[in-house]
């Protein structure tokens, strides 16, 4: 086995057959994750769905730290979709309580890990105290230079695009000369200033995007894992990165540009 240094903290073992001696593992700048399967994971063990959500929230702390140690710069995670309000109100309340706690804990953790936290999604539907917790966390962590953890809360890709169009229309009224193109449109999205993900991972076996980052994932590599989110480990993250390294990214062209 050959040890490759991918960042100052994280070493992986790669079989010699996997690589040439000069190969360097390319770490994507931005990884997006649909953290799915909390409920099924809990049910499998005879527990209720809330137990799965709590374990899922604990696992996010572990994976965010691992991502940071691997040298990933941006990690975007799908925590609550615009469609998740359809769930029973008891489950929605539990999820909102968990988010509250996560945001609170993150002030301390973000400082310790030099992590910047930002939130995307439609905030107006969230309880005022959750909106305040988001703002406090964003302000407290805005100068941290390590991993940027982008949490999608009450997020839907279609909703984000509609909000972006509305914001653009207001700007166009003020500056009739501006011309819309892909770059400018990106500036009206919640994810402005953050590069598109190179890699998107979904746990739990579903092979769909469920309204996640539908603009930003246009050219991302997708990696679907059978494991449920609470059992997804840093080794699984590294497996996804290794798979990403084997892909030839052509962006519509003919040459391997990866
Ligand atoms: C993901 O797990 C968490 C949220 C969507 C909030 P699920 O709650 O979707 O778990 P499954 O897919 O029902 O197992
Ligand atoms: C996607 O998972 C949303 C989150 C992980 C937050 P869902 O469980 O809500 O997606 P569907 O219903 O299987 O498409
Ligand atoms: Mg699900």
pLDDT tens per residue across span 44-87: 999 999 999 999 999 999 999 999 999 999 999 999 999 999 99
b/e string for 177-186 if b means 16 or more Cβ within 10 A?
eeeeeeeeeb
CA of 37 to the centre of ligand 1 (A): 5
Per-state percent for the chain, helix, strand, coil, to nearest 5: 45, 15, 40
Task: Please choose, from the candidates 92, 83, 65, 77, the residue with its C-alpha nearest in 3D space to the C-alpha of residue 9.
Answer: 65
Residue 17: its pLDDT value, please? Answer: 40
Q: How confident is the model at residue 23 (pLDDT cuts 50, 70, 90)?
A: low
Q: Look over the chain and give the mean of its residue pLDDT values, rounded to a whole number.
A: 92
96 vs 99: CA distance, rounded Å: 5
Which residues contact ligand 2 via a Cβ below 6 A?
Answer: 34-36, 78-81, 84, 206, 208, 210
CB-based contacts of 162, cutoff 8 Å, min separation 6: none
Residue 12: its pLDDT value, please? Answer: 46
pLDDT tens digit sequence for 97-145: 999 999 999 999 999 999 999 999 999 999 999 999 999 999 999 999 9
pLDDT greater than 60 at residue 256: no
pLDDT greater than 60 at residue 13: no
Question: Under DSSP, is residue 134 helix (H, G, I), strand (E, B) or coil?
Answer: helix
Q: Which CATH code fits 28-155?
A: 3.40.1180.10
pLDDT greater than 90 at residue 238: yes
42 vs 53: CA distance, rounded Å: 8
163 marked as binding residue: no
- Supply the DSSP symbol for 86: G
146 marked as binding residue: no
End-to-end CA gap in the chain: 25
Q: How confident is the model at residue 257 (pLDDT cuts 50, 70, 90)?
A: low
CB-based contacts of 243, cutoff 8 Å, min separation 6: 221, 223
Which residues contact ligand 1 via a Cβ below 6 A?
Answer: 35-40, 80, 84, 95, 204
46 Ramachandran zone, left/alpha/beta (phi>0; psi -120 to 50): left
CB-based contacts of 81, cutoff 8 Å, min separation 6: 152, 154, 155, 156, 210, 211, 212
- Shortest-distance Cα residue to atom 12 of ligand 2: 210
CA of 35 to the centre of ligand 3 (A): 8
Residue 11: its pLDDT value, please? Answer: 46
pTM here is: 0.92
pLDDT tens digit sequence for 205-231: 999 999 999 999 999 999 999 999 999
139 vs 202: CA distance, rounded Å: 29
Q: In percent, how much of the chain has pLDDT > 90?
A: 88
More confident call, 31 vs 1: 31
Q: Where are the domains of the chain?
A: 28-155, 157-196
Residue 24: its pLDDT value, please? Answer: 85
What is the token pair recorded at 165? 């169009």
Q: Which residues are catalytic?
A: 36, 84
55 vs 60: CA distance, rounded Å: 9
pLDDT greater than 50 at residue 9: no
What is the token pair recorded at 34? 């649909």
């Amino acid at each position: 086995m050959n040890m490759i240094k991918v960042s100052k903290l994280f070493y992986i073992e790669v079989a010699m057959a996997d690589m040439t001696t000069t190969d360097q593992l390319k770490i994507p700048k931005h990884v997006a994750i649909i953290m799915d399967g909390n409920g099924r994971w809990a049910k499998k063990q005879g527990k209720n769905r809330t137990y799965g959500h709590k374990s899922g929230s604990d696992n996010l702390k572990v994976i965010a730290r691992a991502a940071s140690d691997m040298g990933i710069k941006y990690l975007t995670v799908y925590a609550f979709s615009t469609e998740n309000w359809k769930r029973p109100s008891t489950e929605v309340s539990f999820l909102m309580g968990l988010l509250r706690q996560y945001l609170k804990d993150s002030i301390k953790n973000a400082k310790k890990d030099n992590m910047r936290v930002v939130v995307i999604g439609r905030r107006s539907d969230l309880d005022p105290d959750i909106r305040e917790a988001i703002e406090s966390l964003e302000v407290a962590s805005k100068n941290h230079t390590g991993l940027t953890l982008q949490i999608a809360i009450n997020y839907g890709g279609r909703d984000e695009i509609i909000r972006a169009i509305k914001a653009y229309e207001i700007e166009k009224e003020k500056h009739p000369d501006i011309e819309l193109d892909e770059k400018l449109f990106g500036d009206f999205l919640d994810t402005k200033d953050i590069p598109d993900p190179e890699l998107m991972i979904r746990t739990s076996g579903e092979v769909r995007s469920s309204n996640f980052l539908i603009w930003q994932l246009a050219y991302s590599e997708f990696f679907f894992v059978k494991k449920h989110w609470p059992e997804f480990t840093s080794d699984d993250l590294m497996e996804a990165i290794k798979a990403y390294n084997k892909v030839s990214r052509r962006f519509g062209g003919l040459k391997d540009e990866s």
